[in-house]
Amino acid sequence: MKPFSHWTKEEVEIEFNLHQDSNNKTLQSWLTDLPTVSVEEKERLKQLSKKLLNYVHDWNEAELKVYFLAFLLDFIDFYQESYRPFLERDLSVEYEKGKRLWGKTDFLVAAGTQSPKEPFFLFMNIKNNWILPMIPWGNY
C-alpha cells in the first residue's frame, strides 16, 4: 500500500480503527504492576534522566540516540532466547490481503537471531517530509 513515512496519524487511526483509551484496564494494569527496581537501577536511571535534562536541547537526533536512547534501551535486556533487539532494519507487513506497509524501523524487538522474523515491539520516529531532522535548539 505505502511506506510508514507516508501515513498520517489520521490515516492510521481510520485504517486500523484505533482510538485513544487512557482508561484501558489492560494498559492500567501494565502501568501499575511494575517490577521492583534495584537501588543500582534507580541510580543509573537518575543519571540518564539528569543527562537528558541537561543536554537534550543541545543534541541533534544522532546525539540523542547515541548519548541517551542507546543507554536506556541497553538498560533493558532484550537479548533473550526467542527474541532480540534490532536497529534500522527494513520491515514489510501484509496486514490484510492486498494491503502492505513497509519501511525502515528505528528500533524493533522481534523473533530471530540475525534478522527480524516476528515483530513484538516497534519504535518509529517518523517525520513528515517537510520537517527537517532535529536540530539542537542552540543552532536556531
Q: Look at residues 134, 138, 139, 140 and name the one whose alpha carbon lies nearest to residue 65.
A: 134
Rounded-to-integer distance, Cα 21 and Cα 18, Å: 9
Q: Any idea what the Cα angle at residue 64 is, between residues 60 and 70, rounded to 5°?
A: 150
| Predicted local confidence at residue 42, as pLDDT | 94
Specify the pLDDT at position 35.
84
pLDDT beyond 90 at 58: yes
Query: Which three cell numbers, joined as nine digits, stand for 24?
Result: 484501558
User: Which amino acid appears at position 137 of this protein?
Assistant: W
pLDDT at 130: 43
Q: Per-domain residue ranges for the chain?
A: 2-15+39-127
| Contact call for residues 120 and 83 (beta carbons, < 8 A) | yes
- Residue type, position 105, single letter: T
Query: Between 91 and 125, whose confidence is greater?
Result: 91
Predicted confidence (pLDDT) per residue in 62-113, tens digit: 899 899 999 988 888 899 999 999 999 999 989 899 999 899 988 999 999 8
* Lowest pLDDT segment from 30-44, 75-89, 125-139: 125-139
Stretch 104-124: mean pLDDT? 90
Q: Is the pLDDT of residue 128 over 80?
A: no
86 close to 114: Cβ distance less than 8 angstroms? no
DSSP 14: H
> Mean pLDDT over residues 110-120, rounded?
91
Strands 84-87 and 107-110 come out as antiparallel
Q: In what order do the strands lie in the sheet with 84-87?
A: 84-87, 107-110, 119-123
